[in-house]
Structure 1
Amino acid sequence: MRSTRRALAAVVGAAALLVASACGTGEDDDSTAAQVEVFTWWAEGGEKAGLDALVSRFTTACPGQQFSSGAVPGGAGVNAKQVLNARLQQNDPPDVFQVHAGAELLDHIDSGQIEDLTADFSTWGLTGTLPAGLIETITVNGKLWSVPVGVHRANVVWTNDQVLADSGILTAPKTLKEFIGNLGRLRRDGVESPLALGRDWTQLMLLESVLISDLGPKRFTGLFTGATKWEGEAVADAIDDYATVLGFSNADRDSLDWPQATRLLADGKAGYQMMGDWVGAELEAANFSGYDSFTFPGNGKAFQWLADSFALSSGAANPAGGRCWLQTVASPEGQQAFSVQKGSIPARTDAPTVGFSDYQLSAAADWKSGVAVPSCAHGSACSQPWQNAANAALGAFSTSEDKAALQSALAAAAKQFVRQG
Structure 2
Amino acid sequence: MRISRRVAAAAAAMAVVLPLSACGGNDDSGGNNTVEVFTWWADGGEKAGLDALVGVFGQQCPGQTFRNGAVAGGAGSNAKQVLASRLQTGAPPDTFQAHAGAELVDYVKAGQVEDLSGEYDQWGLRHAFPQGLIDNLTYQGKIYSVPANIHRANVVWTNKKVLDRAGVTTALTSMDQLFAALDKVKRSGVAAPLALGKDWTQLMLLETVLISDLGPQKFTGLWNGATDWKSAEVAKGIDDYKRLLGYSNQDRDALDWTDAERLIMNGRAAYQLMGDWEAADLDAKGFKDYGYFTFPGNGKTFQWLADSFTLPRNAPNPDGARCWLKTVGSTDGQQAFNTKKGSIPARTDADPAKYPTYQQSAMADWKTFAQVPSCAHGAACSQGLQGAANSAVAKFSTDLDTAALQNALAQATSQYATS
TM-score in terms of structure 2 length:
0.92
Q: Report the AA paired with residue 83 of structure 2.
A: L
Q: Is the 8 A contact 1:198 1:261 kept in 2?
A: yes
Q: Is the 8 A contact 1:332 1:352 kept in 2?
A: no
Q: Is the 8 A contact 1:198 1:257 kept in 2?
A: yes
Q: Report the AA paired with residue 345 of structure 1.
A: I
2:396 matched residue in structure 1 = 397
1:219 matched residue in structure 2 = 218
Aligned match of 1:21 in 17, 24, 45?
A: 24
2:306 matched residue in structure 1 = 307
Tell me whether 1:150 sits opposite 2:149 in the alignment. Answer: yes
Distance in 2 between the 1:23 and 1:231 partners? 54
Residue pairs, 1:124-203, within 5 angstroms: 124-203=123-202
User: Does the residue aligned with 1:98 lie in a helix, a strand or coil?
Assistant: strand
Residue deviations 1:47-78 (CA, integer Å, cap 9, x gap): 00000011111112112210011100011101
2:240 matched residue in structure 1 = 241
Residue deviations 1:220-239 (CA, integer Å, cap 9, x gap): 00001111011111111100
Distance in 2 between the 1:313 and 1:138 partners? 16
Q: Is the 8 A contact 2:73 2:79 kept in 1?
A: yes
Distance in 1 between the 2:189 and 2:408 partners? 35
Distance in 2 between the 1:267 and 1:308 partners? 30
Residue deviations 1:359-408 (CA, integer Å, cap 9, x gap): 11010000000100001001000111000000000111111111111111
2:98 matched residue in structure 1 = 99
2:230 matched residue in structure 1 = 231
Distance in 1 between the 2:55 and 2:303 partners? 30
Q: Is the 8 A contact 2:102 2:418 kept in 1?
A: no
User: Does the residue aligned with 1:43 lie in a helix, a strand or coil?
Assistant: coil
Q: Is the 8 A contact 1:22 1:324 kept in 2?
A: no
User: Does the residue aligned with 2:308 lie in a helix, a strand or coil?
Assistant: strand
Residue deviations 1:9-50 (CA, integer Å, cap 9, x gap): xxxxxxx9x7552699xxxxxxx9721110000000000000
Distance in 2 between the 1:292 and 1:419 partners? 37
Distance in 2 between the 1:179 and 1:397 partners? 22
2:16 matched residue in structure 1 = none
Distance in 2 between the 1:418 and 1:115 partners? 23
2:370 matched residue in structure 1 = 371
Give, in angstroms, the shift of residue 215 of structure 1.
0.3
Give, in angstroms, the shift of residue 266 of structure 1.
1.1
Tell me whether 1:251 sits opposite 2:254 in the alignment. Answer: no
Greater alpha carbon shift after TM alignment, 318-327 vs 57-66: 57-66
Give, in angstroms, the shift of residue 152 of structure 1.
0.6
Q: CA RMSD in A?
A: 1.6
Give, in angstroms, the shift of residue 90 of structure 1.
1.0
Give, in angstroms, the shift of residue 351 of structure 1.
2.4
Q: Is the 8 A contact 2:23 2:61 kept in 1?
A: no
Q: Is the 8 A contact 2:103 2:381 kept in 1?
A: yes
Give, in angstroms, the shift of residue 255 of structure 1.
1.2
Q: Is the 8 A contact 1:151 1:305 kept in 2?
A: yes
Give, in angstroms, the shift of residue 247 of structure 1.
1.2
Give, in angstroms, the shift of residue 257 of structure 1.
1.1
2:33 matched residue in structure 1 = 34
1:332 matched residue in structure 2 = 331
Q: Is the 8 A contact 2:22 2:60 kept in 1?
A: no
Aligned length: 398
Give, in angstroms, the shift of residue 179 of structure 1.
0.3
Greater alpha carbon shift after TM alignment, 348-357 vs 180-189: 348-357
Q: Is the 8 A contact 2:25 2:319 kept in 1?
A: no
Give, in angstroms, the shift of residue 418 of structure 1.
2.1
Greater alpha carbon shift after TM alignment, 347-356 vs 184-193: 347-356
User: Does the residue aligned with 1:312 lie in a helix, a strand or coil?
Assistant: coil
Tell me whether 1:266 sits opposite 2:269 in the alignment. Answer: no
Residue deviations 1:162-209 (CA, integer Å, cap 9, x gap): 000101001221101110111122112210110111110010000000
1:362 matched residue in structure 2 = 361
1:293 matched residue in structure 2 = 292
Q: Report the AA paired with residue 72 of structure 2.
A: P
1:74 matched residue in structure 2 = 73
TM-score in terms of structure 1 length:
0.92
Residue deviations 1:63-121 (CA, integer Å, cap 9, x gap): 22100111000111011111111111111111100000000001100011001000111
User: Does the residue aligned with 1:191 lie in a helix, a strand or coil?
Assistant: coil
Q: Is the 8 A contact 2:100 2:378 kept in 1?
A: yes
Distance in 2 between the 1:315 and 1:252 partners? 43
Distance in 2 between the 1:419 and 1:262 partners? 33
User: Does the residue aligned with 2:310 lie in a helix, a strand or coil?
Assistant: strand
- Aligned identity (percent) is 58
Which structure 1 residue ranges, 5 or more long, are not aligned? 6-15, 25-31
Distance in 2 between the 1:342 and 1:311 partners? 19
Give, in angstroms, the shift of residue 290 of structure 1.
0.8
User: Does the residue aligned with 1:299 lie in a helix, a strand or coil?
Assistant: coil
Q: Is the 8 A contact 2:305 2:377 kept in 1?
A: yes
Distance in 2 between the 1:174 and 1:150 partners? 27
2:7 matched residue in structure 1 = none
Distance in 1 between the 2:25 and 2:54 partners? 17
Q: Report the AA paired with residue 85 of structure 1.
A: A
Residue deviations 1:291-328 (CA, integer Å, cap 9, x gap): 11100000011100001100110120100010011011
Distance in 2 between the 1:246 and 1:123 partners? 49
User: Does the residue aligned with 1:230 lie in a helix, a strand or coil?
Assistant: coil
Distance in 2 between the 1:223 and 1:318 partners? 40
